[in-house]
Structure 1
């Protein structure tokens, strides 16, 4: 049974998510909470496979929840759930360690696919999220890459091929190759090994 945590400060949203998720007989919502602090505590207690966390909650934002969850050996994948289709929010979620980002208006058609990806420890970032216009601002050369390029570099370092990255990000292979080439040019590396070294050095992936 796959365990799922829902954290949202609106009861109607939590009920709607539970109704969608529990149509799968092998998925179980093990906790529902309405603020960020409770989300972290519930994650530690119930050790869910996936935590669906609203970006805007009392006491602690969803991004901070994702960051705190990463501090514990929980093996919990985090999906940031928000009403805003914002590249900046997607970037913040990515930096905090969330592996999926979903706009609430897309939940009916994409929620199950996002959870399925996370259960396979694969990221889920819908193409419509404007990551390409959200440059990073901190860290070594991060300011030179768009968030989309940064995500491509992370996936390269995790061992995905261009075709695999394209499938995950819902991009054409040609577009993925263009993002990869742009990242290599900006980082002044000329090989996959160079991208991997950068990803390890900057903490995008663990060594």
Structure 2
């Protein structure tokens, strides 16, 4: 919640985090209920207001908001893939990622809402004129196909999955420094590097419990 979703330029610009936006909305709702009794309460308290954020949003290039939204969508997709991998590999011992995924989804909806506040949309690219289209026919065809967008984000190996897990742990440590989830994620990475016998000793409390793990029926 402390990772900036919005960075502006100029002396009046602020870094807007998800927590700051929540606080601005809460203050706005409070002032609406109070009517005109305390119109400057947020300013006097030094709290960033909803109006200030929206003014900053309208001053930003559209491409910057679109880039932020694309980054959040990529993180949300990566978190879902990581959740699926952990569920398959660790089952009930998988660290919980529901709160992280919820925060990413909330941040994505916030940025989408900001984009809807913009009165203008980027102008569509005009189609090429006939001479340009004819010239394009004579251009050489590239030998290697271009990778489709998002293909590079696919987890291709076990080592890459654990590297993504550590990267996500570092990100979540910045987003929620008091959350236990980053430590659990890093612990899962450490487990992945352990030999089987060492991992059993790590996950079991006594020999009887280890015996149950070794003799239990395989998961279908």
Give the TM-score normalised by structure 1.
0.26
Give the TM-score normalised by structure 2.
0.25
Q: Considering only CA atoms, is the larger Rg found in Structure 1 or Structure 2?
A: 2
